[in-house]
Structure 1
Amino acid sequence: MKAQTMKAATAAKKLGIYLPAAPDDFRDREISRTELDELTANPPEWLRALRADGPHPRDVVARKLGVSNSGLARGGVTEALTTAEIKALLEDPPQWLVDERATQAAVRAENARVKQRDAERAARRAADGDRA
């Protein structure tokens, strides 16, 4: 039976790293599920360094900045950022980042409100069902 493999891009996404910054011997081949598990369990120095210092892929940048991927695009961030660049943005946030973080906070609050409302409705339905 052939080992299950994935493209390097898929493995990089699962590892949360920016593929172009990975070593050539990682980027230029298929990665087996076993290798991915080993990289996850015992990350080599290059992987630890990429995770710590970057450059980071867009989804990681967005998460670290507390915005959505769309918010990054609206802010004009199209390239991968390093940890130092992310830290600099957080220390002295430009207006787009302040606005996007506020938008993200409002979205999270609305999602929490809807979840609470749905839970209350479900509880009422369950209580009404008990009376029937």
Structure 2
Amino acid sequence: MKPQTMKAATAAKKLGILLAAAPEEFRDREISRTELDELNANPPAWLVTLRADGPHPRDVVAHKLGVSNSGLARAGVTEPLTTAEIKALLEEKPEWLVAERATQAQVHAENARVKQRNAERAARD
């Protein structure tokens, strides 16, 4: 039986890394589920470095900055960022970042409120 495989782009997404920054031997082939599990369990040096220093994919950048992907787009951040660039933004606190983090906090608060309301309704029914 042939093992289940995925494209390198899918594996990179699951690993939380930028495909373009991965080594060529990773980018240019299919990755089996077993290999993916092994990379997660025992990451090689290149994966440890990529996860720590970047460059990071958009969703990881957004998460580290505490904003949404849409917030990055509104701010004009289109390129992958390194950990050092993310830290610099967090220290500088540009106006767009402060505004987008506030928006993200409001979204989380509203989601929590709706979840609580739905739980209370379910408890009554």
**CA root-mean-square deviation:** 0.6
Give runs of aligned pairs for residues 91-106 of structure 1, distance below 5 A: 91-106=91-106
Letter in 1 for 2:6: M
Task: Give 4+ residue runs of structure 1 displaced > 2 Å after superposition.
Answer: none
Q: Equivalent pairs: percent with the same residue?
A: 84
- Provide the TM-score with structure 1 as the length reference: 0.93
Cα deviation, 1:83-117, whole Å, max 9, x if unaligned, reads 00000000011111111000000000111111111
5+ residue gaps, structure 1, are: 126-132
- Provide the TM-score with structure 2 as the length reference: 0.98
Alignment partners' CA distance in 2, 1:44 and 1:77: 29
Deviation at 1:76, TM superposition (A): 0.5
Letter in 1 for 2:87: K
Query: 1:78 — aligned with what?
Result: 78
5+ residue gaps, structure 2, are: none
Computing the radius of gyration over CA atoms, which structure comes out larger, 1 or 2? 1
Aligned residues: 125
Give runs of aligned pairs for residues 112-123 of structure 1, distance below 5 A: 112-123=112-123
